[in-house]
Chains A and B, each alone.
Chain A
């Protein structure tokens, strides 16, 4: 099916299979920040924004995204860097495979709620798995960002 996807502000014509998910489409189009981690929408590494709302792209049909605004990390790298610098200050990005998903979740959260407390952050990011860090350092980084950067 022919669809038009508006990705990070640019229009892309794309011929999608009826059962194709955005994760595959976006990777085919070169948006490699979107990762595949689980196939069951359980790990958060494929998170993107559709019309500003956080969704796991492995569970979002490409045809449903026709003419909608899709944001991947490539489109918000400046914002990601602001938050990410605090991750780097803690060394908590570690392997970095889940980092794009974390960045997208955090950007979505701060768009919705510019001043959350850390418990709110934890709830919002509960679906972002990380096997490297134990999360503790992420929370230090996010608190530092909220205290200093925001």
Chain B
């Protein structure tokens, strides 16, 4: 057994010894230091920019401003092509649209001189009125992108003259009609906030010209092929002149899907011919990359007295900040990866607008809209249960999706386009719900228990679904090469960003090829040496890239058998891993492979496999929180968090579990602590780890993650995805637990102790 087995990560040994493995570890000693002068204003036009003094410093090798960079319009989103995000960005623009927006690129020999040069650049700004409140952005006379220059690759509901980055709406059934016949209709408004990714490794890129005078970018990215394409477009050099290599990456969570320093360092190296590097400061990571899209969600649920849910209606206002990266797709996922969970409805509708504001852009972030939508949906279901005087679990059990069923939403809503029809072939959501109910001891603890006169504990629950890749769009490919001795090189485009995908993909290849995992040597994420892959996003690697690997391995077996037939002039050859059955006789595979390269009729055997999903089978989970609230102070403590996850067959249960545990804590952070907090002048108040609260190991009680195995027929060895789903449940589960404990319903994230304290004092 090589799959469904917890083997150590193939890169673990080097990582625990701290071997050079990350982008900045590979920077040549003479790399120019690249830094970016950033806007101190949320909205301004550059009247003049004077760089002469800075450029006069001998250590400064080049400076770029909007006056001397290519003008190409593009999106930094880092998606497939054509992108569903509006083209609204330039490398450097005369208008700056948020505090931290790029004004000039400076390269010099040391950090100190470049910092000095940044101070010597004189910029005269014409300060414009900013829009900082996204609820006031639509049709505001102040426009973020004025002048009718933005464009979309296909209709995405984009209208820059209204500050509208993207919009979408759909309805299945007659919402008004169905709602009018419901016994109970509840409509509430929920808010989710801008969350920072806060990955360990700041964004980094190293650029150099190789011996063939091609631009090489070593970069901490999640989507190296998209980086190559977008850099080529933005800088204006042919794709064939660029190589992008992704080394080990210190976490991404969506934050490294987009383009960041690659263009800046690429420009510097192209201009000077010298190697260069740009390593973001933590402040830049906070201010000048991007956050999760904040959303206002108006959620309506209509139901009958017996708890049958008849109507679900979600109306979203999303804030994409200064640029529309992932504006449409994150919006759509808020509905597409939540609403199908309750598929017995007679009408379901979704409507959303994504607006521009003068704050840091929003972009891809684990959960990708689903966590926002989940907070609204799973909160209002508890509000409904409360109104109906039903147990919230019983309400859900009555309405959830099961194996063999579908939802009209699947066909209607995709990511940026129409979706695909899908019959759910693996779904253990109901089992997850029952298990988590038992493990958290719901019967005993629901709704609350007083621990002392001023401390109360409550339990709360939420269900979630996600997807497994973007069907019909995103492709993952693999190449296998047989070596003398009989071991294999597996090269994949898939992008291991700490997730363990190199290990998981090697396990899948080993399973198909019936060899131990150490007979598979994996190399990934290099546009010159490894095949195409969409990248590490949309919960796609195990399912999409994994299927690509499996196909490559199956093709390799066919190729081996074909070659052996010729070689031994046999009627039938069967590959068995350690040996070949040649017309019934055993032949050592290792000997076969060695002879293949050294004795007569030599030939290199190579096989490829590519996979594009026809559907996106959702993983499911049930998460339950037990919280303790101090009624005097509002202090909220997550005493324990239990989760049961159906991700199909986990290829590597250990790595799957860590994915979910890490995602849970990131979700708990979003629920209780984290928020990118912008001041009235548009500046980000909490732009460091001192001021932005990421949960530490002291902040949470035990988390217990278990798997309820299902078998997804379309997945590699039954697998679905597991990378994102874990983040979705904490906001609603904890909000529900707080309500059950205190009777106070908080509909806005984060639910800090201060927020709860104030609500309790009302």
| Choice from A36, A72, A94 contacting B279 with Cβ under 8 Å | A36
Say how far B496's CB is from chain A's closest CB, in angstroms: 9
| Choice from A39, A123, A125, A131 contacting B283 with Cβ under 8 Å | A39
Chain A 20-55 interface residues, beta-carbon cutoff 8 Å to B: 27-28, 32-40, 42-43, 45
Contact across chains for B17 and A81 when beta carbons are under 8 A apart: yes
Give chain B residues whose Cβ lies under 8 Å from the Cβ of A5.
none
Known: A37-B201, A131-B253. 5 other contacts (CB 8 A): A91-B654, A91-B658, A94-B500, A95-B200, A96-B11
Say how far A78's CB is from chain B's closest CB, in angstroms: 9
Can you report 7 residue pairs joining A to B where beta carbons are below 8 Å apart?
A: A43-B689, A91-B658, A98-B200, A131-B197, A134-B700, A134-B703, A137-B657
Known contacts A95-B251, A131-B200, A84 near B689 by CB under 8 Å: no
Chain A 80-125 interface residues, beta-carbon cutoff 8 Å to B: 80-81, 83-85, 87-100, 103, 122-123, 125
Give chain A's interface residues, CB within 8 Å of chain B: 17, 27-28, 32-40, 42-43, 45, 72-74, 77, 80-81, 83-85, 87-100, 103, 122-123, 125-139
Total B residues in contact with A, Cβ cutoff 8 Å? 60
Contact across chains for B662 and A94 when beta carbons are under 8 A apart: yes
Closest 9 interchain pairs by CB? A95-B498, A33-B18, A97-B250, A84-B16, A96-B15, A134-B661, A134-B665, A100-B18, A42-B689
A38 to B286, CA, bound (A): 11
Give chain B residues whose Cβ lies under 8 Å from the Cβ of A133.
658, 661-662
Highest count of chain B CB atoms <10 Å: which of A73, A85, A97: A97
Contact across chains for B20 and A97 when beta carbons are under 8 A apart: no
Please encode chain B, from 260 to 300, with 1 for each CB lying within 8 Å of some chain A CB and 0 for all others: 00000000000000000001011100000000000000000
Residue of A nearest to B698 (CB): A126
Chain B 1-45 interface residues, beta-carbon cutoff 8 Å to A: 6, 8-9, 11-22, 24-25, 29
A95 to B688, CA, bound (A): 21
Contact across chains for A80 and B282 when beta carbons are under 8 A apart: no
Known contacts A80-B18, A133-B661, A126 near B697 by CB under 8 Å: yes
Known contacts A42-B688, A133-B662, A91 near B200 by CB under 8 Å: no
Residue B694 is within 8 A (CB to CB) of chain A in the complex: yes
| Choice from A17, A84, A91, A130 contacting B17 with Cβ under 8 Å | A84
Residue B666 is within 8 A (CB to CB) of chain A in the complex: yes
Contact across chains for A77 and B17 when beta carbons are under 8 A apart: yes
Contact across chains for B22 and A80 when beta carbons are under 8 A apart: no
Residue of B nearest to A86 (CB): B16
Known contacts A39-B281, A80-B18, A97 near B697 by CB under 8 Å: no
Contact across chains for B697 and A135 when beta carbons are under 8 A apart: yes
Contact across chains for B17 and A35 when beta carbons are under 8 A apart: no
Highest count of chain B CB atoms <10 Å: which of A93, A126, A137, A138: A93
Contact across chains for B498 and A129 when beta carbons are under 8 A apart: no
| Choice from B13, B248, B663, B703 contacting A95 with Cβ under 8 Å | B248
Highest count of chain B CB atoms <10 Å: which of A37, A74, A80, A128: A37
Contact across chains for A38 and B16 when beta carbons are under 8 A apart: no
A107 to B8, CA, bound (A): 22
Contact across chains for A97 and B664 when beta carbons are under 8 A apart: no
Say how far B122's CB is from chain A's closest CB, in angstroms: 26
Contact across chains for B21 and A96 when beta carbons are under 8 A apart: yes
Chain B 632-673 interface residues, beta-carbon cutoff 8 Å to A: 652, 654-655, 657-658, 661-666
Residue B202 is within 8 A (CB to CB) of chain A in the complex: yes
A81 to B498, CA, bound (A): 19
Give chain A residues whose Cβ lies under 8 Å from the Cβ of B703.
134, 136
Contact across chains for A132 and B281 when beta carbons are under 8 A apart: no
Give chain A residues whose Cβ lies under 8 Å from the Cβ of B500.
91, 94
Give chain B residues whose Cβ lies under 8 Å from the Cβ of A90.
654, 658
Contact across chains for A32 and B20 when beta carbons are under 8 A apart: yes
Highest count of chain A CB atoms <10 Å: which of B15, B249, B499: B15
Residue of B nearest to A85 (CB): B16
A45 to B200, CA, bound (A): 8
Give chain A residues whose Cβ lies under 8 Å from the Cβ of B657.
91, 137
Known contacts A40-B282, A123-B698, A88 near B662 by CB under 8 Å: no
Contact across chains for A132 and B690 when beta carbons are under 8 A apart: no
Contact across chains for A136 and B702 when beta carbons are under 8 A apart: yes
Give chain A residues whose Cβ lies under 8 Å from the Cβ of B29.
28
Contact across chains for B199 and A131 when beta carbons are under 8 A apart: yes
Contact across chains for B689 and A40 when beta carbons are under 8 A apart: yes
Contact across chains for B6 and A91 when beta carbons are under 8 A apart: yes
A30 to B282, CA, bound (A): 22
Say how far A137's CB is from chain B's closest CB, in angstroms: 5
Contact across chains for A81 and B662 when beta carbons are under 8 A apart: no
Give chain A residues whose Cβ lies under 8 Å from the Cβ of B661.
133-137
Chain B 119-155 interface residues, beta-carbon cutoff 8 Å to A: none
Give chain B residues whose Cβ lies under 8 Å from the Cβ of A94.
251, 498-500, 658, 662
A127 to B705, CA, bound (A): 25
| Choice from B9, B22, B279, B688 contacting A93 with Cβ under 8 Å | B9
A98 to B198, CA, bound (A): 12
Contact across chains for B665 and A135 when beta carbons are under 8 A apart: yes
A130 to B198, CA, bound (A): 10
Contact across chains for A93 and B697 when beta carbons are under 8 A apart: no
A139 to B665, CA, bound (A): 14
A136 to B703, CA, bound (A): 7
Contact across chains for B200 and A129 when beta carbons are under 8 A apart: yes
Give chain B residues whose Cβ lies under 8 Å from the Cβ of A138.
697
Residue B112 is within 8 A (CB to CB) of chain A in the complex: yes
Known contacts A40-B688, A91-B8, A96 near B248 by CB under 8 Å: yes
Say how far A131's CB is from chain B's closest CB, in angstroms: 5
Contact across chains for B18 and A32 when beta carbons are under 8 A apart: yes
Give chain B residues whose Cβ lies under 8 Å from the Cβ of A74.
17-18
Contact across chains for A87 and B12 when beta carbons are under 8 A apart: yes
Highest count of chain B CB atoms <10 Å: which of A28, A81, A84, A127: A84
Give chain A residues whose Cβ lies under 8 Å from the Cβ of B202.
36-37
Say how far A149's CB is from chain B's closest CB, in angstroms: 14
A37 to B279, CA, bound (A): 10
Give chain A residues whose Cβ lies under 8 Å from the Cβ of B197.
131
Residue B497 is within 8 A (CB to CB) of chain A in the complex: yes
Say how far A99's CB is from chain B's closest CB, in angstroms: 5
Give chain B residues whose Cβ lies under 8 Å from the Cβ of A87.
12, 16
Residue B696 is within 8 A (CB to CB) of chain A in the complex: yes
Say how far B669's CB is from chain A's closest CB, in angstroms: 9
Highest count of chain A CB atoms <10 Å: which of B6, B202, B498, B698: B498
| Choice from B498, B654, B664 contacting A134 with Cβ under 8 Å | B664
Give chain A residues whose Cβ lies under 8 Å from the Cβ of B696.
126-127, 129, 135
Give chain B residues whose Cβ lies under 8 Å from the Cβ of A137.
654, 657-658, 661
Give chain B residues whose Cβ lies under 8 Å from the Cβ of A125.
697
Contact across chains for A93 and B698 when beta carbons are under 8 A apart: no
Say how far A45's CB is from chain B's closest CB, in angstroms: 6
Residue of A nearest to B279 (CB): A36
A127 to B690, CA, bound (A): 11
Give chain B residues whose Cβ lies under 8 Å from the Cβ of A128.
697
Say how far B429's CB is from chain A's closest CB, in angstroms: 23
| Choice from A93, A131, A136 contacting B15 with Cβ under 8 Å | A93
| Choice from B282, B663, B700 contacting A38 with Cβ under 8 Å | B282
Say how far B661's CB is from chain A's closest CB, in angstroms: 4
Say how far B520's CB is from chain A's closest CB, in angstroms: 18
Contact across chains for A81 and B665 when beta carbons are under 8 A apart: no
